[in-house]
Amino acid sequence: MGKVVVAALAAGCTVAACVVASVMVRRSVRRRRGWRRVVRVLEELEEGCATPVGRLRQVVDAMAVEMHAGLASEGGSKLKMLLTYVHNLPTGNEKGTYYALDLGGTNFRVLRVQLGGQRSAIIRHDLDRQPIPQNLMTSTSEELFDFIATSLKDFVEREESFSLTSQQERRELGFTFSYPVKQTSTSSGNLIKWTKGFSVEDMVGRDVSECLQQAISQKGLDMRVAVLINDTVGTLALGHYHDEDTVTAVIFGTGTNACYLERADAIIKCQGLITTSGSTVVNLEWGNFWSSHLPRTSYDIDLDADSPNPNDQGFEKMISGMYLGEIVRRVILQMMQESDVLRPFSSKLDVPFILRTQLMAAMHEDDSPNLSEVARILNDTFEIPDVPLNFRKLVVKICDVVTCRAARLAAAGIVGILKKIGRDGSGGIASGKTKGGSQNKMRRTVVAVEGGLYTNYRMFREYLNEAMGQILGEDVAPYVVIRVTEDGSGIGAALLAASHSASSSALDRVST
Ligand code: BGC
């Protein structure tokens, strides 16, 4: 009897052990299969985002071609190539105290800049930075500008209460408004459309300066909107103020864009443009650039389709700070949907834009041996605790692929502009004349850059700089200098307010 019980027990144990073992084997097979799927998602992402130099050169050419098309006719390209009517950049002789208001990405800034009349003599600038309340980004123009004018008035009163000299003349303001605007003069222009999540519908088509000027007057503040500019133009103005070889400026922040100095006679769509300098600043609005050579993945297609502006701002959606974290979230979500390597599934993964690009950068640059920062951010953002180390490594790799593509495409965009203005060295770098008789000596060329994506995200910066070198080649690359202009979009507006209040801008007009 006893033997039978023992035998039955032993048999039972064996069966149980077999069941446990088979469950474990099944689990481990499932885990391995799941892991293989996750790795496949990564490999497909890498293939889809590949940017070999050959492809970058195609993007360079496409950018230059689209620039020509956008200058040839209104609507001739997805690149709007907007006239800014800024024909003269600050000379360095500007003097006095000017204000600037910078409305662009997630923050808005108010500045007071004192200019000493000598190049590099910005005596001081004071700054107030505030986040734009989320509800105002989709409210009415009246509410938005009332809030801005109130903050501006508070700032002016605070600043002037510390100042020893009293304000004698009417205050002059440079207004940096970083959205596509069809300028009608240096100080006025109508909003074409919103980008970067803003959507104050009653503003579209209206004169942006007028809206601000009205709100300022209603607050009883004696101030004139002297110039209305894009942030790229402010950056170019400050870049040029410090270094006359600066010919183009690029923003890599929440959004992305570039402007550059163009010959007035190259702007075919505006034949009558007469400028004292013979050149003028053109705002590309390159966020909307598109080319079949851009490496586009299913994540980009879905992000675009789910966005409030589908088929719009395609280049920006691959490059700028507003979108990079969102692309990474979509890839992680895809991995989770294809396998069960991380269970239970967190519903936070479904929340659009929950992974901000700053956090993505922090994960990408986590150099701790066990990637503890990656684990912390995945837990805080998606509520996924204890992510295993191999998955953390995968997340770092996703960030790397997404940022590398963005930075390399950005570099191709810059070289595209240089190519358009003959500064990419493609005509040779030696001194002397080409067959046609034109000079082809490569000149030192400075690109002014502003924006947190470039200044705060080391890997983005390194990939961009590396790609510039690869596209231009080792003979030409040393002639091209990328220079960060801190707060250029704001200080540049004050500089332009100063130069336009003093300059003989009557000569710079469009003849009809
Ligand atoms: C806007 C541009 C701006 C850029 C950088 C884009 O979304 O359309 O006007 O220059 O962001 O702020």
> What one-character-per-residue DSSP string does 309-343 give?
STTS-HHHHHHSHHHHHHHHHHHHHHHHHH--SS-
Whether 251 is in the pocket of ligand 1, judged by its Cβ within 6 Å, is yes
pLDDT at 30: 65
> What Cα–Cα distance (Å) separates residue 344 from each residue in 29, 353, 394?
18, 21, 19
Given a contact cutoff of 8 angstroms between Cβ atoms, the answer to whether 407 and 460 are in contact is yes
pLDDT at 419: 97
The tens digit of pLDDT for each residue in 62-105 reads: 999 999 999 999 999 999 999 999 999 998 888 889 999 999 87
The three-state secondary structure class of 485 is: coil
pLDDT at 3: 65
Q: Which of 137, 175, 198, 285 to mutate to test the pocket of ligand 1 (most atoms within 8 A of CB)?
A: 285
Q: Which of 179, 199, 289 to mutate to test the pocket of ligand 1 (most atoms within 8 A of CB)?
A: 179
CB neighbours of residue 197 within 10 Å: 17
Record the tokens describing residue 254, joined without a space.
């929440």
Spatial separation of the C-alpha atoms in residues 232 and 248, rounded to whole Å: 9
Record the tokens describing residue 124, joined without a space.
């001081």
Among 233, 242, 240, smallest CA distance to 281 is for: 233
Partners of residue 97 on adjacent β-strands = 114
Given a contact cutoff of 8 angstroms between Cβ atoms, the answer to whether 235 and 504 are in contact is no
Whether 424 is in the pocket of ligand 1, judged by its Cβ within 6 Å, is no
Quote the ligand 1 centre to 271 CA distance (angstroms): 26
Burial of 277 (0-12, 13-18, 19+ CB in 10 A): middle
Quote the ligand 1 centre to 180 CA distance (angstroms): 7
Nearest CA, atom 11, ligand 1: 255
Spatial separation of the C-alpha atoms in residues 85 and 242, rounded to whole Å: 21
Taking the chain, what is the end-to-end CA distance rounded to the nearest angstrom?
114
Q: Which of 250, 256, 315 to mutate to test the pocket of ligand 1 (most atoms within 8 A of CB)?
A: 256
Spatial separation of the C-alpha atoms in residues 401 and 47, rounded to whole Å: 10
Whether 487 is in the pocket of ligand 1, judged by its Cβ within 6 Å, is no
CB neighbours of residue 217 within 10 Å: 13
Q: Which of 257, 323, 449, 487 to mutate to test the pocket of ligand 1 (most atoms within 8 A of CB)?
A: 257
Whether 285 is in the pocket of ligand 1, judged by its Cβ within 6 Å, is yes
The three-state secondary structure class of 469 is: helix
Whether 288 is in the pocket of ligand 1, judged by its Cβ within 6 Å, is no
Whether 209 is in the pocket of ligand 1, judged by its Cβ within 6 Å, is no
Among 280, 259, 237, 274, smallest CA distance to 497 is for: 237
Given a contact cutoff of 8 angstroms between Cβ atoms, the answer to whether 173 and 497 are in contact is yes
Quote the ligand 1 centre to 57 CA distance (angstroms): 24
Whether 314 is in the pocket of ligand 1, judged by its Cβ within 6 Å, is no
Nearest CA, atom 1, ligand 1: 179
Whether 225 is in the pocket of ligand 1, judged by its Cβ within 6 Å, is no
352 upstream amide cis, omega within 30 of 0: no
Pairing mode of beta strands 480-484, 279-283:
unpaired
Given a contact cutoff of 8 angstroms between Cβ atoms, the answer to whether 203 and 141 are in contact is yes
Pairing mode of beta strands 95-103, 480-484:
unpaired
Nearest CA, atom 7, ligand 1: 255
pLDDT at 19: 58
Residue 52 C-alpha from the chain's centroid: 22
Quote the ligand 1 centre to 13 CA distance (angstroms): 69
DSSP 8-class letter at 245 = T
Quote the ligand 1 centre to 309 CA distance (angstroms): 14
Nearest CA, atom 3, ligand 1: 178
pLDDT at 120: 59
Low-confidence ranges of the chain (pLDDT < 50): 1, 431-437, 503-512
The three-state secondary structure class of 227 is: strand
100 Cβ neighbours under 8 A, 6+ residues apart: 109, 110, 111, 112, 113, 173, 174, 175, 176, 234, 490, 491, 493, 494, 497
Whether 255 is in the pocket of ligand 1, judged by its Cβ within 6 Å, is yes
pLDDT at 494: 95
Quote the ligand 1 centre to 113 CA distance (angstroms): 23
- Looking at this protein, which amino acid is placed at residue 15? V
Torsion angle in degrees (nearest 10) through CA of 240, 243, 245, 251: -50
Partners of residue 223 on adjacent β-strands = 171
Quote the ligand 1 centre to 317 CA distance (angstroms): 12
Whether 321 is in the pocket of ligand 1, judged by its Cβ within 6 Å, is no
Atom number, ligand 1, closest to the C-alpha of residue 322: 7
Atom number, ligand 1, closest to the C-alpha of residue 181: 9
250 Cβ neighbours under 8 A, 6+ residues apart: 232, 235, 256, 257, 258, 410, 413, 414, 447, 448, 449, 450
Whether 499 is in the pocket of ligand 1, judged by its Cβ within 6 Å, is no
Spatial separation of the C-alpha atoms in residues 293 and 314, rounded to whole Å: 12
For the full predicted model, state whether its pTM sits above 0.85. Answer: yes
Whether 287 is in the pocket of ligand 1, judged by its Cβ within 6 Å, is yes
Spatial separation of the C-alpha atoms in residues 339 and 47, rounded to whole Å: 20
Spatial separation of the C-alpha atoms in residues 106 and 261, rounded to whole Å: 28
**Phi, psi values for residue 395, rounded to 5°:** -65, -40
